Chains A and B, each alone.
Chain A
Amino acid sequence: MISARSRGLMAAKMLMKGTAARMGVMKRVSLVFKAKANKALDKMEDPRETLDYSYQRQLELLTKVRRGVADVATSRKRVELQMNQLQQQSNKLEDQARKALGMGREDLARGALERKASAQGQLNDLQVQYAQLQGEEEKLTVASQRLQAKVDAFRTRKETIKATYTAAEAQTRINEAFTGISEEMGDVGMAIQRAEDKTAQMQARAGAIDELMASGALDDAVGGQRDDIQSELDMMSASSDVESELSRLKGEITAGAPKQLEGGANGNSQGAQAPQAGAQASQGQAQPASIPAADRPAEPQDGEG
């Protein structure tokens, strides 16, 4: 037993000196795992202590891996949120481009489409990240289930060993159980670490996208940023609203005039001229128009009487 431990440590030392070069990657990795387990075993005076100590660490690791799953899920949800925002933004920009084109403003439409392309690029990037995070989440979930199964098996084995403890046989059985669970713990620990690293990278990128959206480079409507394309479109549509309001008013007056002046041909032309600023340019015509206008009040009075 002691020689097995020493072998593990020797292998580790060989690895560190780089003298194990011809051993193959698979063997070297497994020796590193075993060396770690042996190192932990060597710290224990009483082998039974090893069992309890290891079991505590297993439970801690289980908690850690579950927290890891939750962390990855949080990152995935954040990316999902950003994807939704970018999609909305992209839709909005396309809508703006369409409106701008409808108003004959190709320059504005081009600007909007350029931003849309940029938003779309970010969106594609996030889709890749999203898939990666989903993969990590699934892996960690499976890892935590596997670890749980091994921890349960270890607990059973631990109780059996303790109940039937005789120094001679227990040491071997403890070592077996310990090495097996240590390998799993090392592997799960590595999986958590890798997931954390990946998540941290993605959070950094997600933060960069948030900043980009806040800067208005992607024209973030959600963030309440001022939006120059939208404000120009608004101005244009505001001025076109004024125009349509004007013609609506003109239409009302035009439609209203014949009702009041049935058969009054002059009154018709006057009604059309009245709201026009240019009417004053034809002052010569204004006078004949005012004459029938003066007659007008008499006509309805006639009708009423």
Chain B
Amino acid sequence: MIVRISGEGQFSIDDAATAELNRLDSELEAAVNRNDEAAFTAALHGLLDQVRAHGSALAADTLEPSDLILPPEDASMDEVREMLTEEGLIPG
């Protein structure tokens, strides 16, 4: 599975590591829904660390799309909310 950390690059990750990713992703989503910035930051950093620890970086010239995309390390909760809308942060 290919995961992109926004602003950082793409990583290839074993399917074995995805359960933990999904757990952290649920935490991240719950934090956004609760409007809990501290929990959001903790979950986001947990996710990114997990990807960096278990993933291997893809070559820069690969043209493979990612299965999952993660917000950048220093993203705020509001920014992530915006990323989730089509008119949001991602330029079309």
Contact = CB atoms under 8 A, between A and B. Distances in A.
Interface string B40-70: 0000000100000000000111111111111
B17 interface: no
Given A36-B86, A40-B92, A181 B63 contact: yes
Given A29-B83, A30-B68, A30-B69, A150 B90 contact: no
A180 to B, nearest CB: 3
Nearest to A16: B86
A32 B29 contact: no
A183 B86 contact: no
A32 B90 contact: yes
A153 B62 contact: yes
A105 interface: no
B25 to A, nearest CB: 4
B84 A25 contact: yes
Interface residues of B, number: 39
A244 to B, nearest CB: 60
Contacts of A183: 4, 65-66, 69
Given A24-B26, A25-B29, A36-B90, A16 B65 contact: no
Contacts of B21: 26
A21 B7 CA distance: 25
Interface in A37-51: 37, 39-40
* Interface-centre pick from A26, A32, A177, A193 (highest chain B CB count, 10 A): A26
A176 B63 CA distance: 7
A16 B84 CA distance: 9
Contacts of A176: 63-65
Given A15-B85, A26-B21, A40-B92, A153 B61 contact: yes
A170 interface: no
Interface string A178-221: 01111101110111011000000000000000000000000000
Secondary structure of the A contact surface, majority rule? helix
B68 A32 contact: no
B29 A154 contact: no
A177 B7 contact: no
Contacts of B35: none
Given A183-B4, A187-B6, A32 B88 contact: yes
A145 B21 CA distance: 28
Contacts of B62: 150, 153, 180
Interface in B1-52: 3-4, 6-7, 9, 21-22, 25-26, 28-29, 32-33, 47
B60 A146 contact: yes
A34 B66 CA distance: 9
Contacts of B60: 145-146, 149-150
Contacts of A39: 92
A235 to B, nearest CB: 52
* Interface-centre pick from B3, B33, B89, B90 (highest chain A CB count, 10 A): B90
A152 interface: yes
A157 interface: yes
A83 interface: no
A143 B65 CA distance: 16
B10 to A, nearest CB: 9
Given A24-B25, A39-B92, A146 B9 contact: yes
Contacts of B28: 24-25
B61 A32 contact: no
Interface of A: 12, 15-16, 21, 24-30, 32-37, 39-40, 139, 143, 145-146, 149-150, 152-154, 157, 176-177, 179-183, 185-187, 189-191, 193-194
5 contacts: A25-B25, A25-B71, A26-B69, A150-B60, A186-B92
